[in-house]
Structure 1
Amino acid sequence: MNIERYQDALHPLLAPLGALYSGAMRLRRAAYASGLLPSWRAAAPTVSVGNIGWGGTGKTPITDWLLGWAEQRGLAPLVLTRGYGARPASYPHLVRPGHLAEEAGDEPLMLCRRHPGAAIVVDPARSRAGRWAEERLKPGVVILDDGFQHLAVRRDVNLVLLKPADLGAGWNRVIPAGSWREGGSALEQADAFLIKISERSFEALLPRLERRLRPLGRPVFSFEIAPQGLVRVLDGEQRPNFSQQPYLLVTGVGDPAQVERTASRYLGHGPREHLIYPDHHAYTRTDVKIIEQTAEKRHCAHVLCTPKDAVKLGPMARDNFWTFDLDVRFGPAWRGHGLEGARFDAWWEARFEKVRAGLEKHRKTPDNSETARQGAEESENFGKEK
Structure 2
Amino acid sequence: MAAGGLARRLPQRWYERRLALALWPLLPLSLLFGALVGARRWLYRCGLLRSHRLPVPVIVVGNLTVGGSGKTPLVLWLVAKLRARGWRPAIVSRGYGGRGDRGGSGARVLPVVATADCAVVGDEPLLLARRSGVPVFVGRDRVAAARALLAAHPECNVIVADDGLQHYRLQRSVELAVFDQRGVGNGWLLPAGPLREPLPRLSSVLAVVWNGRPEQALAGAARKLPQFAMRLRGQRFIAASGEPRSCDADALRGRRLHALAGIGDPSRFFRQLTALGLDFEAHPFPDHHRYRAGDLAFAEGAVVLMTEKDAVKCAALVTGEAWVLPVEAVIDTPPGGRALFETILEKLHGRTPA
Alignment of 1:253-292 (within 5 A): 253-266=263-276, 268-271=277-280, 273-288=281-296, 290=297
User: How many angstroms does 1:258 deviate by?
Assistant: 1.8
TM-score (norm 1): 0.79
Label 1:88 to 1:147 Cα distance change in 2 as closer, same or farther (>3 A). Answer: closer
| Cα distance in 2 for residues equivalent to 1:248 and 1:186 | 40
SS of the residue corresponding to residue 27 of structure 2 reads: helix
2:331 is aligned with 1:330: yes
Partner of residue 348 from structure 2, selected from 347, 355, 359: 355
Residue 278 of structure 1: how far off its partner (Å): 2.5
| Residues 1:315 and 1:236: Cα distance change in structure 2 (over 3 Å) | farther
Shift of 1:216: 5.5
Distance 1:81 1:30, change over 3 A: same
The normalised TM-score by structure 2 is 0.86
1:349 Cα offset (Å):
2.5
- Residue in structure 2 matched with residue 373 of structure 1 by the alignment: none
User: Please, which of 129, 132, 135 is the counterpart of residue 151 of structure 2?
Assistant: 135
Q: Which residue of 1 is the match for residue 337 of structure 2?
A: 342
> What residue identity is the alignment partner of 1:342?
G
Structure 1 residue 318 displacement after superposition: 4.2
Structure index of larger Rg: 1
**Where in structure 2 are there 5+ consecutive unaligned residues?**
102-106
Aligned 8 A contact 2:293 2:318 in 1? no
Which of 22, 31, 42 aligns to 2:34? It is 22
Structure 1 partner of 2:322:
321
Determine if the alignment matches structure 1 residue 380 to structure 2 residue 348: no
Identity of aligned residues (%): 29
Contact 1:156 1:380 in 2 (8 A): yes
Structure 1 residue 142: deviation in Å? 0.7
Selected match of 1:147 from 164, 167, 176: 164
1:307 Cα deviation after fit: 0.3
Question: How many Å apart are 1:286 and its aligned residue?
Answer: 4.1
Name 1:114's counterpart in structure 2.
131
Q: How far apart in 1 are the matches of 2:166 and 2:26? A: 22
Q: Any idea what SS the aligned residue of 1:94 has?
A: strand
Unpaired runs of at least 5, structure 1: 334-339, 360-378, 382-386
Tell me the equivalent position of 2:104.
none
Q: 2:141 aligns with which of 91, 112, 125?
A: 125
Identify the residue that residue 207 of structure 2 maps to in structure 1.
Answer: 192
> What is the correspondence of 1:146-225 to structure 2 with a 5 Å cutoff?
146-167=163-184, 169-171=185-187, 173-198=188-213, 205=216, 208-209=217-218, 212-213=219-220, 217-225=224-232
The match for 1:59 is 71
Contact 1:84 1:105 in 2 (8 A): yes
Q: Distance in 2 between matches of 1:245 and 1:42?
A: 54
Equivalent residue number for residue 309 of structure 1: 310
Describe the shift of the 1:287–1:50 C-alpha distance in structure 2 as closer, same or farther (beyond 3 A): same
| Contact 1:227–1:324, Cα closer than 8 Å, also in 2 | yes
CA distances 1:7-30 after superposition (whole Å, capped 9, x unpaired): 612344322321221121111111
Deviating beyond 6 angstroms after TM superposition, the runs of 4 or more aligned structure 1 residues are: none
Residue of structure 2 in register with 1:5 after alignment: 13
TM superposition shift of 1:72: 2.3
